[in-house]
């Protein structure tokens, strides 16, 4: 899991943009947690080493209100910062990567915690 106080700081300061989904098949993702407002955690996200099949340390995050870009942003930044010396490239396999990657670098630059 990620370090909780730094992750809480990121979540409290991050602004989740309400971007309209351009993926027809992912409308279900947009409404997946509509009836789960009373839950503190609605799932997790994590980065995985494709070579070894294990979770990358300090990359597992909780989803508070469904799957949000701010959660995945933090997870991937933590994964890339954790012992990534000598790694020249990465592959991101993510079901909504087409939506997520659109403004990723802007979100990183705008954040004090990424």
**pTM of whole model > 0.75?**
yes
Length of the chain: 114
The C-alpha torsion from 84 through 89 and 93 to 97, rounded to 10°, is: 100
* Segments forming the whole domain that contains residue 99: 4-110
Looking at the structure of the chain, the number of domains it has is: 1
Digits of tens for pLDDT over the chain (114 positions)? 788 888 888 888 887 766 666 666 665 455 555 666 677 888 888 999 888 888 998 999 998 877 788 999 999 999 988 877 887 778 888 878 888 888 999 999 999 888
Pure H helices in the chain: 4-13, 27-31, 69-81, 97-100, 104-110
Neighbours of 26 (CB within 10 A): 14
């Amino acid at each position: 899991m990620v370090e909780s106080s730094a992750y809480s700081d990121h979540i409290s300061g991050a602004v989740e943009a309400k971007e309209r989904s351009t993926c027809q098949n992912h409308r279900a993702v947009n409404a997946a947690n509509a009836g789960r407002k009373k839950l503190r955690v609605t799932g997790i996200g994590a980065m995985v080493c494709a070579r070894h099949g294990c979770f990358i340390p300090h990359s597992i995050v909780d989803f508070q209100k469904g799957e949000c870009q701010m959660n995945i942003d933090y997870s991937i930044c933590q994964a890339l910062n954790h012992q990534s010396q000598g790694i020249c490239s990465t592959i991101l396999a993510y079901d909504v990567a087409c939506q997520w990657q659109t403004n990723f670098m802007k979100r990183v630059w705008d954040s004090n915690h990424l």
